[in-house]
């Protein structure tokens, strides 16, 4: 009986291990918003489900079902990751540092 030989297509081999096997870990991407900048988490930025404040960043975190966390540096502990469904982050005028948003595995 002839031996069966399997060969993956070049198209399949050209994809990354992450595309073929999935992303390990809880988060797969990160965006930082510094100072008084703003980031909206809709469209291509959909799926960010955690934030971490760095420095003395102050601003507003808007949640996807409504509600806001204002002056985040006073409410959230610096360097701690908080799992939140984020719609938008916007820094205040005197904001120093940044806020990191992490994209969750779906």
What is the pLDDT, as a whole number, of residue 59? 92
Into how many domains does the chain fold?
A: 1
pLDDT band at 8 (very low <50, low <70, confident <90, very high): low
Q: How far is CA 104 from CA 11, 36, 49, 74, 83, in A?
A: 27, 24, 6, 25, 9
Please check whether residue 4 lies inside any domain of the structure. Answer: no
Where in the sequence is the domain holding 32, given as residue range(s)? 25-104
Q: How far is CA 90 from CA 9, 16, 31, 61, 87, in A?
A: 45, 34, 13, 7, 10
Provide the edge-to-edge strand list for the sheet that holds 98-104: 27-34, 98-104, 48-54
Please check whether residue 8 lies inside any domain of the structure. Answer: no
Please check whether residue 18 lies inside any domain of the structure. Answer: no
Assess whether pLDDT exceeds 80 at residue 20: no
Q: Tally Cβ neighbours within 10 Å of residue 100.
A: 19
In percent, the amount of the chain with pLDDT more than 70 equals: 87
Please check whether residue 17 lies inside any domain of the structure. Answer: no
* DSSP type of residue 43: G
Please check whether residue 9 lies inside any domain of the structure. Answer: no
Please check whether residue 6 lies inside any domain of the structure. Answer: no
Please check whether residue 20 lies inside any domain of the structure. Answer: no
Residues 63 and 84: beta-carbon distance below 8 Å: yes
């Amino acid at each position: 009986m002839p031996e069966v030989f399997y060969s993956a297509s070049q198209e399949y081999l050209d994809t990354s291990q992450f595309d073929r096997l999935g992303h390990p870990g809880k988060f797969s991407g990160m965006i930082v918003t510094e100072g008084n900048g703003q980031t909206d988490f809709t469209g291509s930025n959909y799926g960010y489900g955690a934030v971490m404040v760095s420095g003395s960043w102050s601003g507003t975190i808007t949640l996807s079902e409504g509600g806001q966390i204002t002056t985040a540096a006073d409410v959230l502990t610096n360097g701690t990751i908080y799992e939140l469904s984020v719609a938008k982050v916007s820094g205040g005028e005197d904001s120093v540092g940044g806020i990191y948003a992490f994209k969750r595995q779906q």
